[in-house]
Structures are given as C-alpha cells and as structure tokens.
Structure 1
Amino acid sequence: MRPFKNHRDRLAWFGEQLDLALPAPRGYTDKQRKLEQVVAFVDVIQAEVRRYSRRRRLTFVDCGAGNCHLGLATALFFTKVEPRPVEIHCVDKNAVLMAKHRDTADRLGLVNMHFHACDIDELSVPAPVDVVTALHACDIATDKAMHLGVQTRARHILTVACCQQTLVKSIRANAASTTAITRHQVFRQRLAYMAGDAMRALLLELEGYEVDVVELVSSRATDKNTLVRARRRNLPANPVHAEALASLMASFRTVPALAHYLGRATSVKRDLQCTRPTPWRLR
C-alpha cells in the first residue's frame, strides 16, 4: 500500500503516473483541473466499494473513456494504493485511443485492464457489473452508460455529464414556457444540465436505484461537476417518481435518450401533448 503525506502528494503521484503533472506548473492548468476531477472521482468510487470484501473481485466499466484517465487511475488505486482484485473495462469508439492506452496500461503494469473500441451499447460484458462510470462522456453517451448499468444490474452507476447538446436543442425548440430563459445560451445550457440530470435520476429511481446528485469538485476545476450517484437497492417503482418524470418531460416537451433506451418513452407520449402539465411534488 502506498502512503501519501497529504492531498497534494496524492495528486502529484497520480499526475506523474497519468502524465497529467507539469514539471513546473503555474496557475491552474487544464491538466491540473483534469487531475483534480479524476482523483475526486476515484475517491467517490473507493467510498462506494469499501464495504465489499477485499477478497472479492470487482468489475468496473468506464464508458466514453477517451484518454482513459479515470480507468487508469482506478486501476492504479486498487493495484498500488489499496490493493484488491479488480477487472476494469474501458470503452470508447476511438480505436486509436484504446490502442494507445492499452500500451499505457502495459507500461504501468496494469494487467487487469481491457480496452474496447466500440460504442457503449455494443459492449458485451458479463453481468452483474459492480460499478459503471462515465466522466464527461459526450452528449447521449451518458445515457448509454446509465442504460448499460441498468442492463448489467450494476451495483453502482456514477456519472458526470459533459455536453448535453441533444437536450439543449430540444429544450430550445420545444419548451415554450421557458423561452424567456432559454433565449440566453448560458441559461439554456444550465437549464438543460439540471433538467437532464433530474430526469435521468428519476429514471434510475424507477429502475430500483437509490439516487442522489452532488458536486464532484469545485466549479473552479470545471463547471460540469454534477455527479449522479446511483446505488442498486431493488426498490419498487414509486408512482410519485413516475408522475414527476412525466411532468418534467411534459414541461420541457422532450424525452431524454435514457427513457428511450429503457423503453419508458412510449408511456409518457400522451403527457408530451399537455400544454399545462400537472404540478407534482416529491414526498
């Protein structure tokens, strides 16, 4: 187990391993911001899985992996910091990046990693999966990651959305009641992030997950810092959540991709015809 003197020492070690540290950093660089997000995400993962026996192998799937910083950091943590058997799958459509980071994993001695050059919905991994993650997966890739988590009965689904262009465009075109807000691009994007993650959270709750939404890091590191944290509890579907979801979809006259993937879009089509959706309150 590798000890750390303090948080700065911890960041420096991960940064060196992941090539995210600069020789003489000045100010708050993009690499430092990314490093802070990755290490914070690893902290969240560790907090979620610490109750499981260290003798049991855990399976992780990192969706929209890109440069694989999160997958590599997770593997490093559970190999060299708090050792336990893990299997980590990184999936991204970019075959060049997957090949590159397969070499990175080999260089770091991480033999427990697998790299898949395919779309998230084309990935085949044996269920159940322990943790599905997505850190800034682009647009509906976050929805695909959540759907994969539900399909594989993942014990934990942890996502931080990036751009939500599909939802932003839909809200701009359809949500007449919010025109005074959405005519300003900065407000339109913020509203889309909040509405999108709120609907995703409700959909996961309808699938039996316990969900909360928190900040991953300070907004100084990134403004895309909303973590949707879901734990499978096999809870019965709550009709209040279904009502809340239908109301949100009707209000914004849009259906998130996750609803389509889960087969829940058809049941709310009639609600999308409403011009005055019924108010709802979670209790």
Structure 2
Amino acid sequence: MEELKILLQKILNKDLQQIILSNSRHPEQTQKVKIRPVLIREELLFQETAYRGTQAFHENFTAEQMTDRICTALQEQFRQGEFSAKTLQATALVSKKGKLTLKVKNSGKAPRTEGAAASEEEELQALAHNRTKHYILEEGKPVDFLVGLGVQTPDGRVTRARFDKFRQINRYLEFIEDVIDELPKDRTIRIIDFGCGKSYLTFAMYYYLHELQHRDIQVTGLDLKTDVIQHCNELAEKLGYDRLKFERGDISTYEGTDVADMVVTLHACDLATDYALDKAVKWGARVILAVPCCQHELNRQIKCDPLKPVLKYGIIKERVAALLTDALRANLLEQQGYETQILEFIDMEHTPKNLLIRAVKKNGMRPKKSADIGTVEELLHVAPTLEKLLNNE
C-alpha cells in the first residue's frame, strides 16, 4: 500500500479530477464510491459519495483522512480504483489474495504556469461550484408562491428561517421530476394531495408541473383544518393558480373522485396513510408518493419471542415497527403491480429525516402475490390495515 499512499499524496490536491472505487467485495453494503475535490469555507476538502442501494451518501474529508480511507477501502471493500488528475491517470487492481497492482500513466501535461489555462482564482471558483447544489427552484430567482408563503423575499432571497423548507421543497420536486414521464401527456393529469396542511409542497408541485413543465393538471388538496383550507384557497386565487383547489375532508371517507393519476400523502398519521394508499390503488393512480409518520399500529401488535432481547427497549421496538410498517406497505403495493422504492426525504417540521415511499405503476407490470409477506406477518404476529383494505376485508 506504500506505493498507493505515495500516489495519493501526489493527487489529493486541487488538480484531482475524480477517484472511483468499484468492483465491491460486498455490494449489498456499498456498490461504488466516488471522490472529488470541493472548496468549503476556503478549505480544500474531498467529498466522498458512497452508493448504497438506491441512495447516495456524502461526506467530506481532509487529504490525510481520505488517504487512509482509500487505502482501507481497497484492502477491505473494493477490488478496483481509478484515479484521474490533471497530470496523470492511474488504475489500482486488487487480486483475490489481496495483492495490489498499480499502473500509472502520466498525461504529459506540464504544471500550469502563470497565465496558462484557467487562473488560480477561476480554479478555486470551480471547486466551490462543485459543492453548490443546483436546485430546481433556484436561489435568487423569485417564485410567486415561495414569496407568498414567506420562503423567499420579493427579490428572490431565501429567508434564513425557511432555508430548510426551501431545501425540502426542491428535494420533493426531484422525486416528482424522476417520475414525470409516467404521467399522462395527452390529457389533464388529476392529482389528489391528502393531508396537504400548510401546502408548501402542494403549491410547489403545482408550480413545477403547470408553470415550469407546462402540463395540463388539476390538483386537489385535502385537509381537516378549515382555516388552513381557507388560507390556501385564498393564496391560490391570489396567485392565479386556477387549477389548484383545496377542500376540507377526511382521507378515509373522501369520495370527491373515482379516478386519479397521482396521489400524494405526506405525513398522514398512522392508519391515514393506509387509507390513502388504498384509495390510490383503487383509483388506478400511476404514481404514489407517501411520507408516512406515527406508525403506531404494528408497534401495538408486534410479538416475536426470538426478538424479545431487542424489542424489550421501547424506542427500539417503536423504530423497528415503523420500518417494518413501511416495508410491508411497499411490498403490498408491489403486489398490486407497482414498482416501489423507499427513499430518504428531508423534513424539518416532523423529524430530521423521513422515508418516502414512491410507487409507479409500469405498463405491463401485473399484480404479483408473495408468500414472503405472509411469512413475516406470521413470524411477528402482525396484520397491517393496508392489506385488509386492499383485500376489501
């Protein structure tokens, strides 16, 4: 590993372009890692992006820390490393016996002299740009609903107190951007948003689909609070969002439509999420976005003697039950012909990080039954409400 350390000492600077660690020994843990330089508060760091399942995790390290991490990763996790810098290219291969072979090829580029290529200042700006998040709704550009909801000032600046909300809105729009092609293009897209609350995300969805993507949509936001509904309708009217309306109603009894293309349910508490998912399936929704919270049902039911040493701790049992609830929900949606993902979602009003269930009904995907769910339910002595609703029990 000494040869690798010498290489890393040469390239872990502002001239680094990218490092990729791949061919994982344990792909179920981490499939791949990418590393690039970033400038944060005028300090040169190296951002590590680890790809695990459908998620990417970011961390920043100093050159010394990154050297140790790369050496350890190639000893324990990965069999291949690709190193790209402005002055050289290198490949590291690790054999099954753990022997590392390093091949280095100089690019032939001489170190930059004054006045050649980009200036030092431009280079530092580029590094700083590496860490700048490109939002769908950009900072500095006023958006009418963000101004109306107090997230932006009239000149487009994001207020300090609402920056977390601004990030959350953009993350939410990324989830929608990923599935926009699954929604109808030749007719009005009908969207139901259960438990819309103050409706930051409902307005964001409307703005993105109607104003930015120019899609023909009709959005209905549903909530139980009369004052909230009144305020949201007044703001929608003020903004000229004539295809957005808000109604007072309960998820379980709502009969305002018999068909929907997209159903959204964010923070519908406990069984309310199950009623919303059941409605979405029976309406034939192409896309479902759900951020469940307060998953109490299975916490009351779960019993498993082999897990007693773990479940005897209340907070552990609560979290296990919450994760189990959402995993079973995702599996039950798959049984109805949906392709499902469970993703991490930023939310600052409820918990720092929540899970989002995204389900897409693909053409040609048929409902499929799975004996695995029954095995899990039997083992843990649980009976999810969503399963009963989908089976019309």
Q: CA deviation at 1:88?
A: 0.3
Q: Is 2:264 the counterpart of 1:133? A: yes
- 8 Å Cα contact 1:61/1:91 also seen in 2: yes
Secondary structure of the 1:87 match is: strand
Q: Greater strand share, 1 or 2? A: 2
- Counterpart CA distance in 2 for 1:34 and 1:167 is 30
Aligned positions of 1:56-71 closer than 5 A: 56-71=187-202
Give the conservation status (yes or no) of the 8 Å contact 2:193–2:202.
yes
Q: Report the count of equivalent residues.
A: 254
Q: Residue in 2 aligned with 1:124?
A: 255
2:365 aligns with 235
Residue 198 of structure 1 corresponds to 327
Give 1:260's aligned residue: 388
Task: Tell me whether 1:92 sits opposite 2:223 in the alignment.
Answer: yes
TM-score, reference length from structure 2? 0.58
Is the CA contact (8 Å cut-off) linking 1:75 and 1:88 kept in structure 2? yes
- Does residue 77 of the first structure (1) align with residue 208 of the second (2)? yes
**Which of 288, 303, 308 is matched with 1:179 structurally?**
308
What is the distance in 1 between the residues matched to 2:182 and 2:392? Answer: 33
Counterpart for residue 149 of structure 1 = 280
2:129 maps to what in 1? Answer: none
Q: Which amino acid aligns with 1:150?
A: V
Gaps of 5+ in 2: 1-132
Are the equivalent residues in 1 in contact too, given 2:229–2:248 (CA < 8 A)?
A: yes
The question of whether the paired residues in 1 share the 8 Å contact of 2:136 and 2:173 is answered with: no
Instruction: List per-residue Cα deviations over 1:35-71 (Å, max 9, x = no partner).
Output: 3223212221132123556553211111111112221
Separation in 1, partners of 2:277, 2:206: 21
1:41 alignment partner AA: Y
Residues 204-234 of structure 1, C-alpha deviations (whole Å, 9 max, x = no match): 1111212122223499x94442121111236
Secondary structure of the corresponding residue to residue 216 of structure 1: strand
Gap regions ≥5 residues in structure 1: 266-283
Task: Tell me the residue number matched to 1:113.
Answer: 244
Q: TM-score, normalising length from structure 1?
A: 0.78
Q: In the aligned structure 2, how far is the partner of 1:93 from the partner of 1:208?
A: 31
SS of residue matched to 2:172: helix
Q: Distance in 1 between matches of 2:256 and 2:205?
A: 18
Q: Is the 8 A contact 2:151 2:159 kept in 1?
A: no
Q: 1:25 to 1:98 in 2, by over 3 A?
A: closer
Q: How much has 1:132 moved relative to structure 2? A: 0.5
**Would the aligned equivalents of 1:214 and 1:227 in 2 still touch at CA under 8 Å?**
yes
Sequence identity (%): 25
The match for 2:345 is 216
More helix by share: 1
Counterpart residue type for residue 390 of structure 2: L
Tell me the equivalent position of 2:376. 248
Alpha-carbon deviations, 1:132-152, whole Å to 9, x = none?
A: 011222111211111111110
Higher Rg of the two aligned structures: 2
SS in 1 for 2:263: strand
Aligned letter for 2:328?
Answer: M
Q: Take 2:276 and 2:325, find their aligned partners in 1: how far apart are those partners?
A: 14
* Matched residue type, 2:135: H
Contact 2:263–2:288 under 8 Å retained in 1 = yes
CA-atom RMSD in angstroms: 2.9
One-letter amino acid of the counterpart of residue 204, structure 1: L
Go from structure 1 to structure 2 and tell me whether the alpha carbon gap of 1:186 and 1:32 turns closer, same or farther (over 3 Å shift). Answer: farther
Q: Distance in 2 between matches of 1:187 and 1:223?
A: 18
Does residue 101 (structure 1) correspond to residue 232 (structure 2)? The answer is: yes
- For the residue of structure 1 that corresponds to 2:382, the secondary structure is coil
CA gap of 1:48–1:188, structure 2 versus 1, over 3 A, is same
